[in-house]
C-alpha cells in the first residue's frame, strides 16, 4: 500500500497521506512524490486546485520520519538527514508559491512536518479534532518547515510561547495564531471534497465555514506577551520565575532541549522581518544542517522515539546555561552548504 495517494479527481489534484498507523509521518518518498505532482499540476489546465488530506481520524501529519535520521546519523552519516531537510524545505517553498489554490484539511495531530504540508497553502482548514503544534524543542530541533515564519508573524509573543513550549493549539487557537484560515465541522468535509472535485472552485469553503468553539490561547495573550518578550531565552526564563503560572510552565519546559530553546528564540527574532518563506527556510536550515552532528538531535530522537525513556541527556544542564556564542554558531552562515531553493 502506498504511503501517499496522488490522483486527479475531477477538477482537482488530490493528495491523501496514507500512513495512518504512523500518524501519517512524512518520509522522503512522500516528499518526492508530492513535489513531482505539484510540478506537473502547476501547468496542467485540467487541474483547478489541489486538495491535500489524510487517512485516519487521529492525524493529518504528526511530523517527519525521525527514525530514518537516527539510523543514518548514529552511523556518522549526516548527509541523508540533511538531504531530507533540503528536499522537505524545497517542498514547503513550492507549496507557498503554488500558482493555484491549495486546500489542506488538517484533522487531529498536525505537528512539525504536518504544519509544513498544510499551513503554507492558500486555504488552511481545521476542525474539531485539530491539535496543532511545533514541538521541535522536544527532540533537539528548532521550529522548521517554514514554521518559524508562522511563529514570527503570530500576534504579540504567541510565537515565542508556542515555539518554546510546543503547546498544542485547537482550531480556534490555530486561527488566532495565523496557522489556519477556516473552521469547518469535520462532518462536512466530505461535502467540501465533493464540491471541489466537481468544480475546482474553493469559494465553497466560505459557505461551509463556521466560527470555532472558543479556544484558550487568546485568553492568555496578555500574560504570554508579558512573559515571552525577552531578547534571549535567559530573559524569558527569568520572567517566567515571576509568578506561579510561569514557574509551572518552566517546570514543564525544563525537560526540553536547552540549545534548541535558545536558538528558537533567536531564530524567531531573526525571521520576524522576513516576508517570504524562502528566507525563513534558509535560516532554519542553518540549525537543522548542524543538528545531528553538532547539536542534540540524535539524543532527542533516542529518548523520544527509539528507547522511549523520555530522559534525554542534553549537552547543557538547563535553559539558562547556553552560551550566546553557541547560539550564534548554530545559526551562523553555512557558506557552500547553505540551502539554495
Binning pLDDT at 50, 70 and 90, where does residue 65 land? confident
Q: How many CB atoms are located within 10 Å of the residue 166 CB?
A: 20
Angle at 110 between CA 284 and CA 307, to 5 degrees: 80
Q: How far apart are CA 20 and CA 193, in angstroms?
A: 19
pLDDT of 205 over the 70 cut: yes
Q: Is residue 52 classed as helix, strand or coil in its secondary structure?
A: strand
DSSP 64: B
pLDDT in tens, 125-156: 999 999 999 999 999 999 999 999 999 999 99
Q: How many CB atoms are located within 10 Å of the residue 232 CB?
A: 16
* Mean pLDDT score of the chain: 97
pLDDT of 1 over the 80 cut: no
Q: Is residue 210 classed as helix, strand or coil in its secondary structure?
A: strand
To the nearest whole percent, how much of the chain has pLDDT over 70? 100
- What are 16's strand-pairing partners? 5, 53
CATH of domain 4-135+165-208: 3.90.226.10
Binning pLDDT at 50, 70 and 90, where does residue 260 land? very high
Q: Pairing mode, if any, of strands 59-61 and 109-111? A: parallel
**286, 334 in Cβ contact below 8 A?**
yes
**16, 53 in Cβ contact below 8 A?**
yes
Q: How far apart are CA 168 and CA 160, in angstroms?
A: 13
**73, 21 in Cβ contact below 8 A?**
no
pLDDT of 327 over the 90 cut: yes
pLDDT at position 48, please?
A: 98
To the nearest whole percent, how much of the chain has pLDDT over 90? 96
Q: What is the mean pLDDT of residues 192-198?
A: 98
Q: What is the mean pLDDT of residues 52-75?
A: 94
pLDDT at position 22, please?
A: 94
Q: What is the mean pLDDT of residues 50-64?
A: 97
Sign of the Cα pseudo-torsion (266, 267, 269, 273, in order): positive
pLDDT in tens, 263-321: 999 999 999 999 999 999 999 999 999 999 999 999 999 999 999 999 999 999 999 89
DSSP 123: E
Q: At what angle do helices 158-165 and 244-253 cross, to 10 degrees?
A: 40
Binning pLDDT at 50, 70 and 90, where does residue 68 land? confident
Q: How far apart are CA 22 and CA 303, in angstroms?
A: 18
pLDDT of 39 over the 80 cut: yes
Helices of type H across 156-311: 158-165, 171-177, 189-199, 204-208, 221-227, 233-239, 244-253, 258-271, 277-294, 297-301
Binning pLDDT at 50, 70 and 90, where does residue 214 land? confident
pLDDT at position 185, please?
A: 98
**299, 259 in Cβ contact below 8 A?**
no
- Specify the domain boundaries for CATH 3.90.226.10 within the chain: 4-135+165-208
pLDDT at position 158, please?
A: 98
Amino acid at each position: 500500500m502506498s504511503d501517499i495517494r496522488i490522483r486527479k479527481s475531477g477538477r482537482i489534484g488530490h493528495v491523501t497521506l496514507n500512513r495512518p498507523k504512523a500518524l501519517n509521518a512524512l518520509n522522503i518518498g512522500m516528499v518526492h512524490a508530492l513535489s513531482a505532482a505539484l510540478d506537473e499540476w502547476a501547468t496542467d489546465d485540467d487541474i483547478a486546485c489541489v486538495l491535500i488530506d489524510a487517512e485516519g481520524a487521529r492525524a493529518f501529519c504528526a511530523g517527519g520520519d525521525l527514525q530514518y535520521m537516527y539510523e543514518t546519523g548514529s552511523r556518522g552519516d549526516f548527509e541523508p538527514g540533511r538531504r531530507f531537510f533540503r528536499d522537505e524545505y524545497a517542498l514547503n517553498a513550492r507549496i507557498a508559491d503554488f500558482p493555484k489554490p491549495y486546500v489542506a484539511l488538517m484533522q487531529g495531530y498536525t505537528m512539525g512536518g504536518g504544519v509544513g504540508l498544510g499551513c503554507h497553502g492558500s486555504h488552511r482548514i481545521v476542525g474539531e479534532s485539530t491539535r496543532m503544534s511545533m514541538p521541535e524543542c522536544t527532540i533537539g530541533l528548532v521550529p522548521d518547515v517554514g514554521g518559524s515564519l508562522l511563529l514570527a508573524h503570530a500576534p504579540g509573543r504567541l510565537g515565542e510561547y508556542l515555539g518554546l513550549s510546543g503547546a498544542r493549539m485547537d482550531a480556534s487557537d490555530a486561527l488566532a495564531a495565523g496557522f489556519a484560515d477556516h473552521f469547518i465541522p469535520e462532518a462536512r468535509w466530505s461535502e467540501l471534497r465533493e464540491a471541489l472535485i466537481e468544480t475546482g472552485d474553493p469559494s465553497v469553503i466560505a459557505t461551509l465555514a463556521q466560527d470555532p468553539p472558543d479556544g484558550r490561547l487568546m485568553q492568555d495573550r496578555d500574560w504570554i506577551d508579558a512573559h515571552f518578550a525577552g531578547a534571549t531565552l535567559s530573559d524569558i526564563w527569568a520572567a517566567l520565575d515571576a509568578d506561579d503560572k510561569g514557574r509551572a510552565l518552566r517546570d514543564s519546559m525544563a525537560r526540553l532541549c536547552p540549545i534548541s530553546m535558545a536558538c528558537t528564540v533567536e531564530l524567531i527574532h531573526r525571521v520576524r522581518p522576513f516576508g517570504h518563506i524562502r528566507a525563513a527556510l534558509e535560516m532554519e536550515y542553518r540549525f537543522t544542517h548542524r543538528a545531528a552532528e553538532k547539536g542534540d538531535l540524535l539524543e532527542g530522537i533516542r529518548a523520544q522515539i527509539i528507547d522511549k525513556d523520555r530522559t534525554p541527556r542534553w549537552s547543557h544542564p538547563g535553559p539558562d546555561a547556553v552560551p550566546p556564542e553557541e547560539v550564534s554558531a548554530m545559526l551562523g552562515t553555512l557558506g557552500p552548504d547553505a540551502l539554495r531553493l
